[in-house]
Chains A and B, each alone.
Chain A
Amino acid sequence: MNIIVCVKHVPDTEAVIKPHPDGSGIALEGSNYVLNPYDEYAVEEAIRIKEANADATITVITVGPDDATKSLRTAIAMGADDAIHLNDPAFLETDSQGIATILAAAIRPLPYDLILCGKQAVDNDCAQVGAALAELLGIPGISVITELSVETGKATAHRELEGATEIIECTLPALFTAQKGLNEPRYPALPMIMKAKRKEIKTLDASALGLSPGDFAPRSRRLKVSSPPPRQAGRVLEGKVSEVVTEVVRLIREEAKIL
């Protein structure tokens, strides 16, 4: 069984989020970049499937800059077998649709039964790449799963809905995006970190994938990034209970316009 896990190299969740003064994006200089936490669930799930299927191999793939090898090696240290780094300066300017196109071009020639992604990356929170990739590959795409069981030729996944669990069965190959709760990702053991260090990572650029810039040109454009308006200080009403209650009801109706 061949498992592919798509991952992203993202600022860790402790990074201070501040827009650039010119509104062009987020200033993240000096932040520590890590394997996207939702992708950790995807990697962990792949490793668990491999542990139950001796013949399984896990390949992690990322589209990212030079230092994204850190996230690929983190996945290898957890237990993935191979890694492919899709690295081209032109890739950095695209959008979710473009990333899915690049991933699809890399994945098409590979044998695969199962593709796992995180449900979204914690940087831009678009949650689009997984679904778009399934569509481009023409395979079933099941998003935001909390449980997965794989048999020969088919898989069953659980999705948490509001107040209910949806159970979906599909044929393989298929793509799943991992939600928190799918599993508890393991910590990489030190000897595995050293093994990952020595692992050769295959790097492919646009021309190696047979892609021209028009193939992954962004179809959406970020206009402006700004901070949310600062929170106003609360108001304290004083006086007799009956007066305060009347005033609160008036404020809720007329100012907050909730009622």
Chain B
Amino acid sequence: MDFKYSEEQEILRDTIRDFAQKEIAPVAAELDAEARFPKDIVAKLAELGFMGMMIPSTYGGSELDAVCYVIAVEEISKACASTGVTVSVQNSLVCQPLLDHADEEQKKKFLVPLASGKKLGAFSLTEPDAGSDIANVQATAVLEGDHYVINGTKIFVTSGGDADTIVLFASTDRSKKSKGISTFIVEKDTPGFSPGKKENKMGMRASGTYELVFENARIPKENLLGQEGEGMKISLRALDGGRIGIAAQAVGIAQAALDASIEYSKQRKQFGKVICEFQAIQWMLADMATEIDAARLLTYRVADLKDQGIRYTKEAAMAKLYASEVAMRSAIKAVQIHGGYGYMKEYPVERNFRDAKLTEIYEGTSEIQRLVIAASLLR
């Protein structure tokens, strides 16, 4: 067992920390306030190779391991959680399933521009009545000649309105329920496809969340990813990986909340001394630090399992569950330590608090993570 970073992991961490603190952190509050997607920052991250981190260089990626990936997502999320989820979705939910399931032609056409960051991707599974309950997907894809004709409405699609390429789940055979779900690669200029309304979210506001509408959208049949009926399998595998990214994102939010709390408690004076001298504050800081460390180790562990090619469904659920709940608890404590100021938008912990909540919900709620963990215990 080795708890040391390798040299390249350290260089990568220093690089992305430096980038995140200089280029992202100074504008994070403004992006949040204006609910603005940071196109220019994402373009710079793409240039540096952060949009296809785990993809082989032959397909335009940076060919890093998953441990490097979680280090990067944590550092980005520490500065701006919205940018963190943009990177996580592109890497884990878009590039990865294309690498795992696309044929050579599809990889050349779709994966290369996504992994090199020239194009932005989205992952579209959730519907008003289906998300974790994937068997209930209502969107349909009907093969007519050389095209699939897609109809349906998708919701809560991260980057949906900004994306060039969408990994879409629709039913090719409603009678087969979960075994009738298939996966498609949809390009944004497809006739019959249009982004619907952009959601007005509590947090993670610099990442656009969209409704996507398909009205007789015709996509070439060669855009089917994998085989018909493999959608459930593809989505679950992608979400296992996605949870590693969200765990890393949650660790980043939690660390940001702790860093701000340490800084503030060393400045803020009450009753003639700085508040970090009060044991009540010290206990909160100590608990945050301990939990964050545990969450980070769970996240590194699952990333390492992925790198070794060992099945990691349970461990990904554990890391995502624990890290997201640690992010929320840390953000609550951080606001408390800041007192009234913590409730104000002038201080970053107010944003950490709103951002943290979503990590407990998306890519499988905490309740779903517990079901996944229990299912694997009781198998």
Contacts and interface: CB of A to CB of B under 8 A. Distances in A.
Q: Do A and B truly interact? A: yes
Interface of A: 12, 32, 34, 69-70, 73-74, 77, 187-191, 193-194, 196-197
B49 A189 contact: yes
Interface string B1-19: 0000001101110110011
A191 B49 contact: yes
Contacts of B57: 191
Find the residue from B7, B11, B14 having the highest chain A CB count within 10 A: B11
**Majority-rule SS of B interface residues:** helix
Given A32-B14, A70-B7, 11 more contacts: A32-B10, A69-B7, A70-B11, A187-B19, A188-B48, A189-B47, A190-B50, A190-B53, A191-B49, A193-B8, A196-B11
Contact of A187 (B7, B18, B53, B63): B18
A189 B14 contact: no
Given A32-B14, A34-B14, A190 B7 contact: no
Interface string B40-71: 00000001111001000100001110001000
B64 A190 contact: yes
Query: Closest 3 A-B residue pairs measured CB to CB?
Result: A190-B49, A190-B62, A197-B8
A202 B10 CA distance: 21
Interface residues of B, number: 19
Contact of B7 (A12, A34, A191, A197): A197
A194 B8 contact: yes
B48 A194 contact: no
Given A70-B7, A73-B7, A196-B8, A191 B15 contact: no
Nearest to A69: B7
Contacts of A73: 7-8, 11
Majority secondary structure of chain A interface residues (helix, strand, loop or mixed): helix
A167 B15 CA distance: 34
Kindly name the residue among A188, A190, A197 whose own CB sees the greatest number of chain B CB atoms within 10 A: A190
B63 to A, nearest CB: 6
Contacts of A77: 11, 15
Contact of B48 (A12, A187, A196, A197): A187
A235 to B, nearest CB: 18
A34 to B, nearest CB: 6
A191 B64 CA distance: 8
Contacts of A194: 8, 62-64
16 contacts: A12-B14, A32-B14, A70-B11, A73-B11, A74-B11, A77-B11, A188-B15, A189-B47, A189-B62, A190-B49, A190-B64, A193-B8, A194-B8, A194-B62, A196-B8, A197-B8
Contacts of B53: 190
A34 B50 CA distance: 21
B48 A190 contact: yes
Residue with the greatest number of chain B CB neighbours at <10 A, chosen from A12, A70, A187, A189: A187
A196 B7 CA distance: 10
A197 B65 CA distance: 13
A74 B11 CA distance: 6
Nearest to B16: A187
A182 B302 CA distance: 43
A77 B9 CA distance: 13
Nearest to A188: B15
B40 to A, nearest CB: 15
A189 B63 CA distance: 12
A12 B12 CA distance: 15
Nearest to B7: A70
A85 B63 CA distance: 27
B11 A193 contact: yes
B49 A70 contact: no
Nearest to A185: B18
B176 to A, nearest CB: 41
A189 B51 CA distance: 12
A80 to B, nearest CB: 13
Interface in B12-46: 12, 14-15, 18-19
Contacts of B15: 77, 187-188, 193
Contacts of B19: 187
Contacts of B12: 190, 193
